[in-house]
Amino acid sequence: MKKLIPFLLAVFVFTACEKDADTDNLDNKFVVYTNYDKAANFKQFNTYYLPDSILIIGDKDKQEYWSDANAQKIIDTYVFNMDNRGYTRVTEREEADLGLQLSYVKNTYVYTDYGYPEWWWGYPGYWDVPYWGNWGGGWYYPYVVNYSFSTGSFLTELLNLEAAQGQNEKLPIIWSAYMSGMLSSSTEVNVELAAQAVSQAFSQSTYLTNK
């Protein structure tokens, strides 16, 4: 057995000879991941509420929102796509059938436990469920999510505000999108990439329509 050790070490050394692919060829647009609740009937909804800010998940333990012109460009892309799918934006949360919550992962400094996919739910001030209504059981995904995460990621969660409310009821997330990529040094480029990614998320979610 001892004689095998140098041989196995040699094998291990040679595995390091793998030639990495040239990633310069990649287009550097965002990776766009979407998932949804197959049981949801997206045609039953007519209206949606979309806050005018994007929650920033950063290194602070208090809520921070992004609402400047760049944020508005990204939010407008959601509005454009939701309207195209036949949904109407309303200004009162209580009147909405659907809620859209947008978050941007500025960094992952605050987190120590990534043991579950929806780790960002624990972020201080993360879209508190009472913001949307009386769902004492918190949010839940009716499907399995396989997110990775990194700095510069955008998270989108579409909530079914028509779900039954109560202390023991949960607020279902019926569609989610995760967009992530290497950020450039130009804010303008990053915002443009994010807007493209939002439109892509809708493009690959053809079921998300009430038409």
Partner 1 sequence: MKTMKYLPLKALAVLAIAIGFALPGKAQTLGNYYANIDWQFNFPLGNDFVKKGSGWGMNFEGGYYVTDNLSVGAFLAYHSNHKYIPRQTLQISGTESLNTDQQHTLFQMPFGVSGRYTFNREGMFQPYFSLKLGPQYGRLKTDFNAYQNSDNTWGFYVSPEIGMNIFPWVYRPGIHVAAYYSYATNKGNLMTYDVDGMSNFGLRLGVAF
Residues in contact with partner 1 by CB under 8 A are 10-11, 14-15, 17-23, 25-38, 143-144, 146, 148, 150, 180-182, 200, 203-205
Minimum CB distance to partner 1 smaller for 44 or for 150: 150
Facing residues of 103 across strands?
Answer: 55, 155
Q: How far is the CB of 131 from partner 1 (least distance, A)?
A: 26
Which amino acid is located at 65 in the chain? Y
Minimum CB distance to partner 1 smaller for 156 or for 180: 180
**Which residue shows structure tokens 């079921």?**
207
Minimum CB distance to partner 1 smaller for 63 or for 199: 199
Minimum CB distance to partner 1 smaller for 84 or for 150: 150
Minimum CB distance to partner 1 smaller for 19 or for 62: 19
SS3 for 89-103 is ECCCHHHCCEEEEEE
CA angle 112, 117, 122 (to 5 degrees): 50
Burial 19-51 (b: 16+ CB within 10 A, else e): eeeeeeeeeeebebbbbbbeebebeebebbbbb
CA angle 115, 165, 210 (to 5 degrees): 85
**Which residue shows structure tokens 């505000």?**
161
Q: How far is the CB of 19 from partner 1 (least distance, A)?
A: 4
105 closest CA partner among 190, 180, 3: 180
Q: How far is the CB of 116 from partner 1 (least distance, A)?
A: 17
For residues 93 and 132, give the distance between their C-alpha atoms in angstroms, rounded to a whole number: 7
Q: How far is the CB of 25 from partner 1 (least distance, A)?
A: 5
Minimum CB distance to partner 1 smaller for 41 or for 204: 204
Q: How far is the CB of 11 from partner 1 (least distance, A)?
A: 7
For residues 15 and 203, give the distance between their C-alpha atoms in angstroms, rounded to a whole number: 40
Q: How far is the CB of 10 from partner 1 (least distance, A)?
A: 7
